Each structure stands twice: as C-alpha cells, then as structure tokens.
Chain A
Amino acid sequence: MSELIRTIDNSGCRDSQYFLDNDIDLDKNRVLFVFNRRLRNLIGRRKLGIAWLILDPIFYSLIYLFVLTVVRTSPDPRILFIGVSMFRVLSSSFKSGTNSVSDFSGGIKAERVRTKVIRNSLFRFRVFDSVIQGSGVAIILFFLDVQIIGVLSYAVLCVIMAIMAEGVGLNLSLILRRMPDLKDVINNYFMLLLFFGSPAFYSMTITTGVHYKVNEFNPFAYFVEMARHYCGTESEMMELIGLNSAIVMILVLFLAIRGYLVLDRQRWEESYWS
C-alpha cells in the first residue's frame, strides 16, 4: 500500500505526496501522453498529419494574397504572410484556451491526473503548435528576403503570442461552457471581426481615425507590427510604443498568467456541473 494520503473537500483535491517512487517520471509520461492525445485530436485522421498544421496558415495567406492581387491592391506578400499566419496562431491558441474545460482528464480517465500535468501539457503543446504553424511561413519569409533575425523574431513572437492568447482564453473557459451561445459569438463573430479589424492582411500604417485608435488597444496589433518591424516591412511599431501599449500588454500578461494559475480551481468548479 502506498503512503499517499488524499484529502478531498469543497476547496480542492490534495495529495500529501507522490504515490510512486518514480512519480516525477510518471508525471513526465503523463504530460507526454496528454500532449500526444492533443496532437492526435488536432490532426484527426488526416493522411498528411502534422503537415496540415504547417500548410494551413500558408494556404490562408495565399488565398488572401490572391484575392487582394485580383482587386489590385498589390499587397506586400511579407506583410500579408506575417499578419494572416499570426492571426491563425492567435485564433487557434485562444480557442484552445476557451475549450480547455471540455477535457480536464487529459484522456486518462481512470484516475485523477494532477492539474500541473494538464497545465504543463497545455503549455508545451501551445509552444509546439505555434512553432509548427509558424515554421512554414518562416521559411517563406526567408525566401522573400527577410533577414534571419526577422524570421527568428517572427517565430519567437508567434510562440509568445500563442501562450498569452491561450492563457487569456483559459479565463473564459468556464463562462463559455455555461453559455455556449457566447462561445459561438466569441469564437466565430468576434474573431471574424477581430481578423478584419486588426492589421492582419494590411499594415497598421494604413489605418486612420477610430480604426487606428481601436487598434491601439488591440494586443494582436502589437505582436504583428513588432514582427513586421523586425522583418523590415512597413510597420507602425515605433509609433505604437507608449503608455497605451504598456497598459495593454501588462493587462494581457496578467490575464494570461491568471488563466494558467486558475486552471485547478476551474477544473474543480466544473466537476459538479451537470
């Protein structure tokens, strides 16, 4: 008999200690298991597997490049590739955060899994997913004469933005589970509005008036304009730096950290909803 003492009450489920001698390894194995499960769920039964994750943002960018070329706006492909692909990363990360409440077991159904395993696997998967999603476009940027420092900055910004977007999404997961209509509103309509309103397929330099003002409070604008700045394309980054940017980024950082920290409380709260 292991010496694990577990206490369960209204405030939480707490283990006095690990239940096996090799529990650190067990948690590592579980993180890997949950990670692989998330990857399998994402890929589904697609024959191209992980290649879809790389191709998806490229295809989207190419479609917008084609459409904008047809309407003769002659976009800079680098601006478009950076913006559209980063928005795809933002969107999938945010949705992952808001959906996290749907599977707190991580697929290990016969035993309670520690929340730190779930948190760790979420975090690792987000890093992996954003690197993979960004890698295809990063290669294209390299061939579009972007300096290596620009390509690397783009990749790093993708990862940071993905982690923060997921963290912010985690804050909303319980509310959205309670109100699926709100989930549709946020994940579909709000994200669509955000896509067209944000400087995704155009640079913020071409925005004016209210549109510009609103984007000063849009965290995505900071990430995408910063990536464009380092990639040497048209960018509003230097003009955006100021008190607004500091407030917005601190707020987003706070929400992201909070999202990952409240995971255990949310999991416990969700467990008794019918």
Chain B
Amino acid sequence: MVMSDEVFNIESLCVDYKEDRIGLFNPTAKPNYIRALDDISLTIKEGQIVALIGKNGAGKSTLLRTLTGLVRPISGKITSKGRVILLAGTDPGFNMDSTGRMNILDLAKAYGIEKEDLEEFCESIIEFSGLGDDIDRNVRGYSTGMRGKLGFGFITGLKPDILLIDETLGVGDAEFRKRAQNRLIDFVNISKTVIISTHSFGLAKQLCNSGIVLDSGKLLFFGEIEESMAAYRKILKM
C-alpha cells in the first residue's frame, strides 16, 4: 500500500525478458529467460528527483518501463500513486506526415489536455521548443534534435505527477539543454517527482537530490545523490 507521501513503492521486483529459441533444428527449444531486474525494493517519495545511474545494460530503461506499466514483472509488485509519464526517445507518438502544430493538437487531446486549454498549451510548447516557423512543417522533415525538442516540450508540458526520463536530455543544442534543465527544475519546484536515467554526473548532481545505482539488474545503492555517485564510481573502477 502506498503511504500518503510515497509515489512509488517497489517490493521485490524481478523482471525477466523472454527470448525465443525455437528454430528449424530446435523445434522444441524452451525459451531463454534473461534477468533484467533482480529483487529491487525501494520507496520513492513525492518531490524526490532521482538520478537512475548504472552502466549500459544495468536495467535502467527496463525499470522505467516497468514503472510506467509497459513491462510485465516476473515477480514482485509496484504500487504507484499519481499519473506516470515516460519520456523515452524523442517521440510521444508523432505522426510523421502531420505538421508539428497539428501533432501537438492531436496528441494533446489524447494526453488529456482540455479543449479550452489547447491553444495556450500549443503556444507554450512552440515557445519552449524554439521551433519558430518550422512548427508548420511536417515532422518527417525535422532533424532528430528538432523532434527531441518538440517531444521533450510536449511531455513536460503535460505536467504529470511523476515524470520518468530515459536519457533524452542530451537532445538539441547547448542552449536547448539549458532550457530543458530549467524546465525540469520548475517541474520539481511544484513538488512533482522525477526519475532521470542518465550517464551524466554533472546533470545528476545539478538536478537530483537522490540516486539509484543499478548494476546487472541489482539495486546497488539508493540514497543521497553524492553517495550514489560515489557508489557508481566504485563500479566503474572495478
């Protein structure tokens, strides 16, 4: 059960990926189970801004996707309180053959923006993304950076209770990254909860007040950000 200020309560969470091995010469082969998360238990409270750190393949993306309800755990339980949004990659669901503006309007309705707030919401995304006149071009013609700006602006504009970010703060130019960080700080200031998967120590230190360190699917450390980074440095030296 989630206590009043807890947004995530994770109990003994294990996630396996199932890999099929059936082939012409192996028609009865049993599937392989690859453990991605192994017995994770932790509690995240409202207002916490958490850096999720670990080497490639440590299970960061799997944890975020499982918390969003997109991946089935093999055992354990997650209880969350509030609306969870995951920003992974640069695409919240763009239609490539529509303009940026049309995409914002269509997606906004699908993400629960009220009709009367649509125009204001749309303008705020356009302003934040800095796309200018390009907003009326088809998204197919956007660069990865432009799509990233639009996607990040859109998702953070939704103001969810819990925002999960999977290594997408690297999109765009230096100026945009600064704006993205400021947007996140604003987000935290209105007592929302954020979990950011990142490899950047600078970003983790600047934005986060706590850290989760994963190694080969296991929870190595969960606590203050400085201590988390120290724990991660130890793995890197190993």
Contacts and interface: CB of A to CB of B under 8 A. Distances in A.
B70 A6 contact: no
A144 interface: no
B66 interface: yes
Contacts of A111: 68, 83-86, 111, 160
A178 interface: yes
B193 to A, nearest CB: 9
Interface string B138-175: 00000000000000000100001100000000000000
A32 B66 CA distance: 26
B83 A268 contact: no
Interface string A33-73: 10011001000010000000000000000000000000000
Nearest to B161: A1
A33 B106 contact: yes
A32 B115 CA distance: 15
B19 interface: yes
A273 B86 CA distance: 20
A4 B112 CA distance: 15
B18 A2 contact: no
Interface residues of A, number: 39
Interface stretch (B53-61, B73-81, B197-205, B230-238): B73-81
Contacts of A9: 73, 75-78
A274 interface: yes
A110 to B, nearest CB: 4
B37 to A, nearest CB: 11
A8 B66 contact: yes
B186 interface: no
Contacts of A8: 66-67, 69, 73, 77-80
A5 interface: yes
A247 interface: no
A178 B68 contact: no
A21 to B, nearest CB: 10
A132 B97 CA distance: 23
Contact of B110 (A1, A20, A29, A268): A29
Given A26-B112, A109-B91, A110-B155, A4 B74 contact: no
B76 A110 contact: no
A179 B112 contact: no
Contacts of A33: 106-107, 109-110
A271 interface: yes
Contacts of B81: 1, 3-6
Nearest to B98: A40
Nearest to A6: B80
A208 interface: no
B61 to A, nearest CB: 12
Given A10-B73, A272-B72, A5 B79 contact: yes
B22 A178 contact: yes
Contact of A108 (B34, B83, B111): B111
A272 B74 contact: yes
Interface string A74-106: 000000000000000000000000000000010
Contact of B82 (A2, A26, A37): A2
Given A5-B2, A45-B97, A271 B71 contact: yes
Nearest to A45: B97
Contacts of A273: 17-20
B41 interface: no
A108 B93 contact: yes
A1 B5 CA distance: 10
Contacts of A19: 82-83
Nearest to A34: B110
A181 to B, nearest CB: 9
12 contacts: A2-B82, A6-B79, A7-B77, A8-B79, A29-B112, A110-B85, A111-B68, A111-B111, A111-B160, A112-B70, A272-B15, A274-B18
Given A6-B79, A40-B97, 9 more contacts: A1-B161, A22-B114, A45-B97, A105-B93, A109-B88, A110-B93, A111-B68, A271-B72, A273-B20
Q: Which 3 A-B pairs rank lowest in CB-CB distance, beginning with the nearest?
A: A33-B110, A112-B69, A274-B17
